[in-house]
Amino acid sequence: MKFLARSIFVLALLYGLVFALADAYLLHSGISLWGALAFPIIWGGIQYLAAPWLIEMFLNIFWDDAGTQLPVRNREFIEKLCMERGLKVPRIGIIDSGTPNAFSYGRVRRDARVVVTTGLLKILTPEETNAVLAHEIGHIEHWDFAVMTVAALAPMLLYQVYVVTEKISSFRAIAYTAYLCYLVSQFVVLLLNRTREYFADHYAVDITHAPDELSSALVKIAYGMVRADGEYQRAKEEGSNEEKLLWTRERRLGGALALMGISNLHSGRSLALGSDPTEAAAVMRWDLVNPWARFYELNSTHPLTALRVRELNRQGEGAQQGFRYPLPQDQNIRWGAFPLEFAIWAFPLLCIGALGIDHWLPGILGYFGITMPPKAEPLLLMFAGCAWIIRVAYRYRGKFQDATIGTLLEDLEVSQMRPRAVRLRGRILGRGESGVSWSPDLVLRDDTGIMFVLYRQTIPFARFVFGVNEAEGYVDQDVVIEGWYRRGAAPYVEMSKITCEYHPVHRTYSRWAQCALAVAAIVAGWTWLSYLVR
């Protein structure tokens, strides 16, 4: 019931934004918005009707109408569940893909379909597969394909308000506010999508009475998706042309499925990177206790896997059942220095944003009754430069110390802003996530796990030059990397220096280049201010 109430609240919030902007426009102009608002509604209706056809056109789905591909225990489970819930048995489809996932779609309950990959059937037990199928049936029974279509209209309507009012000079402030609400509404849609995933998880547990099976499935799926992504990176660097084509197809297919599936790479990769599924509980703790994890989750279609496992554990505990992934007892968010770190992260960006608005869009501030003093712009530029220097000093600190990937993954305090200065020894497996031949980023493996190594440079074209001329020389070589371990959506090390027996030492200068630009901003602001004072 709490998930239903939360969904209704989020939908109300979305359409509250739309109504507020539309009402403000009508009050100020008296011009009808029917034409502008009708277009996204009609377009959304066409998308809703055509979506199943488009999915089947772009995805190679084998329909198991004969009942010979899906295991008998799983098909019997679906048939029994649908009979008990008064639902028509959905058409079952199978996609030949090693990336484990499952999704459901349709227009109404009666034409709903459930699709699973061969990779999912391979890595999950029948009981775990039943839990995943129940989750997808939950989406069907809750009309989630319709709910999310309706929710997706809200950003479109807000954008239409922006487009119409932006052309009228006296309503520019409304247009800018509409655009701001449009940006916010996209995050609210993601919040609703995450809420529906929790709702479907809860439904699956009510049906199967086995929260542990769904927890295990989620962890295995996350681990399998990361492993498939790693195979793609390996094939791009070492594989034959045939392998490259195969894994490129897998990568694209996995990305398409992630938008609709029970899980995605973004929400689960941190717990799987460098860990066996049976050891995932220790790695998941960061997602539970570090407030930065919730900040990164804002841009995800799916909840963090750790948070889903925690919710499932609570349901199992309420039913007096054990759980396969016993998370640490202390799961309270450790706020600690987070407010300070967030302020250091955000303040220079706010100064730059305020400078841009005051210089190029002063009407917005005037609409809200804000009047900036004549010297505000150079002061904001100086503040931005000073704040950026503080930001760099905070993010690049510490003395490099020996570490292993396994121990880093269990560090609860690290974040984008609070790094660990580390020295890692291992072998470079290949290029980074982009997988292209000019990628400057690398993948490092030691005896305890695998880590993504980010090559960051503020100097223009420096990343491209390193990727083209030097990065390949480190592949399949034993190296020593010094840098700053951070955790964002996934763990990574930002490289400071890489040392290899067969190549010269290579250093990055991102922090110094950032400081130089910040100093230049301070000098420019001071010169500007001096000119205004004259």
Positions annotated as catalytic residues are: 136
Count of Cβ atoms closer than 10 Å to residue 369 Cβ: 6
Amino acid at 292: W
Cβ-proximal residues to 149 (8 Å cutoff; 6+ apart), any chain: 44, 47, 48, 51
**Kind and range of the H or E run holding 33:** none
CA-based diameter of the chain, in Å? 86
The closest of 133, 30, 27 to 89, measured between CA atoms, is: 133
**How many CB atoms within 10 Å of residue 504?**
9
List phi, psi (to 5°) of 487. Answer: -130, 120
Q: Taking a C-beta distance cutoff of 8 angstroms, is the pair 93, 62 a contact? A: yes
Give how far Cα 247 sits from Cα of 58, 59, 260, Å.
17, 16, 20
Give how far Cα 88 sits from Cα of 149, 170, 482, Å.
22, 54, 58
8 A C-beta contact, residue 309 and residue 284: yes
- Name the pairing type of β-strands 503-507 and 491-500: antiparallel
| Alpha carbons 80 and 359: distance in angstroms, whole number | 65
Residue type for position 324: R
Judge whether 516 and 392 are in contact, CB under 8 Å. Answer: no
- C-alpha distances (whole Å) from 510 to each of 221, 282, 341, 399, 518 are 36, 33, 20, 17, 12
Residues composing the chain: 534
Nearest CA to 311 out of 327, 333, 299, 296 is that of 327
Cβ count within 10 A of residue 390: 13
Distance (Å, whole) CA 450 – CA 452: 7
